[in-house]
Amino acid sequence: MVIFRQFETLLKHLYFLKKTTNGLGFGFVPTMGALHEGHLSLIRASRRECGVTICSIFVNPAQFGDSNDLEEYPKPIEQDIELLVKNACDILFLPSVEEVYPVDYVNQCYDLNGLDLRFEGKSRPGHFQGVCNVIYRFLSLIKPDFAYFGQKDYQQTVVIKRLTEVAQLNTIIRVVPIVRESNGLAMSSRNIRLSASGRNKASFILEGLEILQKNFRVQGISKAIDLVSWHIASFEGAELDYLIVADSTSLKEVKDEEHTDLVALIAVNYEGVHLLDNMILSQ
Ligand code: PAF
């Protein structure tokens, strides 16, 4: 695996690869490091589809509201590099903050059609604009054919698809299914902040989504949401932040169970950790 820290050297290398590899696709996996199986599934998806896989590790200050959160974000870089090598990633891009946001960088505000203000956006103002700023920098310079994101952050995937439209980026966005721990908890860098017993019990989030999937057609969306709320509330210390059934493309809330293309989005605060999950609802 080759490591680059500057756009200039990375882009030169990619230019050379494009010329010599006869049109192999370039796949890009942006991450903030602290890699787990969820990230590795993105690397594997890129390797299946593309000739060259580029992963970036960059803890993006623009998407953190709280500077403590940013400072405390785990940075196990040696371990991350080892995992990327083991998973046959071709290129790691490891830029500094100054490289991504030079002194003359002007923060952009994208027209996200309100997608950035709902659900996760409510409690984290500016978060999705921060994500879009970094993703625009990467996609507009690296110009990968495909970029891979985890379905676990469903709202983020919808926001990024919108970004590619409004900013006219040519990269195709691929959404890779959620990878779960053995008890069903969606993999996330945040899971390490749970106690061992909390991590075990947190299977109630997926159970909640399964209750919704099982009941919403027959009982109606709002009754099914009540059933899930009671289930979550029965676990001490678990607080349901939101549970929304929405159109899977527009993310507009849906109350009518006959609507097709539905996604259920859930966020639960448990042991001080904000846990996200979601499920595409089948008919
Ligand atoms: O999902 C993440 O880890 C980050 O939001 C991303 C997409 C790498 C942008 O910093």
**Does one domain contain both 268 and 145?**
no
Q: What is the model's pLDDT at position 203?
A: 98
**Does one domain contain both 102 and 15?**
yes
**Does one domain contain both 167 and 229?**
no
Ligand 1, atom 6, lies closest to the CA of 31
**Does one domain contain both 99 and 234?**
no
Q: What is the model's pLDDT at position 205?
A: 98
**Residue 53: CATH number of its domain:** 3.40.50.620
Distance 228 CA to ligand 1 centre (A): 29
Q: What torsion, rounded to 10 degrees, do the Cα atoms 35, 37, 38, 42 define?
A: 90
Q: What is the residue range of 217's domain?
A: 189-278
Q: What is the model's pLDDT at position 22?
A: 75
**Does one domain contain both 160 and 204?**
no
153, 176, 199: which is the final residue of a domain?
176
Residue entry with tokens 């998806």: 45
CB-count burial class (<10 Å; 0-12, 13-18, 19+) for 96:
exposed
- Please give the Cα distance from 51 to 27 (Å, whole number): 8
Catalytic residue check, 39: yes
Q: What is the model's pLDDT at position 63?
A: 97
Q: Is residue 6 part of a domain?
A: yes
Nearest atom, ligand 1, residue 58 CA: 10
Nearest atom, ligand 1, residue 150 CA: 1
Q: Is residue 263 part of a domain?
A: yes
Q: What is the model's pLDDT at position 24?
A: 82
Instruction: Give the pairing type, strands 262-270 and 238-247.
Output: antiparallel
Q: Is residue 283 part of a domain?
A: no
- Spell out, as residue ranges, where the chain has pLDDT lower than 50: none
Set 13, 39, 127, 231: catalytic member:
39
Q: What is the model's pLDDT at position 124?
A: 93
Q: Is residue 184 part of a domain?
A: no
- Please give the Cα distance from 133 to 136 (Å, whole number): 5
**Does one domain contain both 268 and 171?**
no
**Does one domain contain both 22 and 105?**
yes
Q: What is the pTM of this model?
A: 0.97
- Please give the Cα distance from 126 to 281 (Å, whole number): 29
CB-count burial class (<10 Å; 0-12, 13-18, 19+) for 135:
buried
173 lines ligand 1 (CB under 6 A): no
CB-count burial class (<10 Å; 0-12, 13-18, 19+) for 255:
exposed
What lies within 8 Å, CB to CB, of 61 at 6+ separation is: 70, 97, 101, 130
134 lines ligand 1 (CB under 6 A): yes
Q: What is the model's pLDDT at position 67?
A: 79
Q: Is residue 183 part of a domain?
A: no
Residue entry with tokens 């259920």: 264
176, 197, 219: which is the final residue of a domain?
176
Q: Is residue 182 part of a domain?
A: no
**Does one domain contain both 123 and 261?**
no
**Does one domain contain both 172 and 197?**
no
**Residue 239: CATH number of its domain:** 3.30.1300.10
**Does one domain contain both 103 and 141?**
yes
Q: Is residue 221 part of a domain?
A: yes
* Domain count across the chain: 2
Q: Is residue 257 part of a domain?
A: yes
**Does one domain contain both 241 and 262?**
yes
31 lines ligand 1 (CB under 6 A): yes
**Does one domain contain both 45 and 117?**
yes
